[in-house]
Amino acid sequence: MKQYLSRFGSSLFALALVGAVSLTAFATVRPFHLVEHGQLQVTPRDQTGTVLDVVANGVGTATHLGAITVQRTATLTATNTPGIFDFNGEATLTAATGEKLTTEIDGTFNANTGHADLAYEWTGGTGRFEHARGTTFWSVDVANGEYDVVANGQIIY
């Protein structure tokens, strides 16, 4: 009986492994487009203003998610060029269904023009986005504590 259970357990494990590999193999590259509007708060870490903490929350629409809310936190660090900041952070996009898509953010913010060019690297999420990956490029315009975004790229899930 022990030998039967051992073989059954091994067979079940092998079947689960094949299933997991197959799901990954079926993941396809899909285009991703997003439009978002929101508000942001910027807080200097000290009086020099060389490091800024950002909290930004918005709403919009995105392919594969539909209506979304977006919560992000980031750190802006001044570069040697006046008004230019390195932008590093993370964000969570939440669909109306409750599914979440998570990302790491890298890019540059130009305080002189109020424009940022950012790369979002998908790091997973929940539901069908649990193993999401890919890169999307975000064009962000900031004025008076508000921002507007148009993003294009790809997502694999």
Domain assignments of the chain as residue spans, ordered by start:
29-156
Topology adopted by domain 29-156: AOC barrel-like (2.40.350)
- CA–CA separation, 132 and 145 (whole Å): 31
In order of 18, 74, 130, 131, the CA distances from 33 in angstroms are 32, 22, 19, 19
CA 50 to chain centre: 25
Q: Model's pTM, two decimal places?
A: 0.83
Which pLDDT tens digits describe the chain residue by residue (157 residues)? 555 445 545 554 544 444 444 445 678 999 999 999 999 999 999 999 999 999 999 999 999 999 999 999 999 999 999 999 999 999 999 999 999 999 999 999 999 999 999 999 999 999 999 999 999 999 999 999 999 999 999 999 9
For residue 78, the cross-strand partners are 85
Residue 131 sits at the vertex; the CA angle it makes with 127 and 133, to the nearest 5 degrees, is 125
- CA–CA separation, 52 and 57 (whole Å): 16
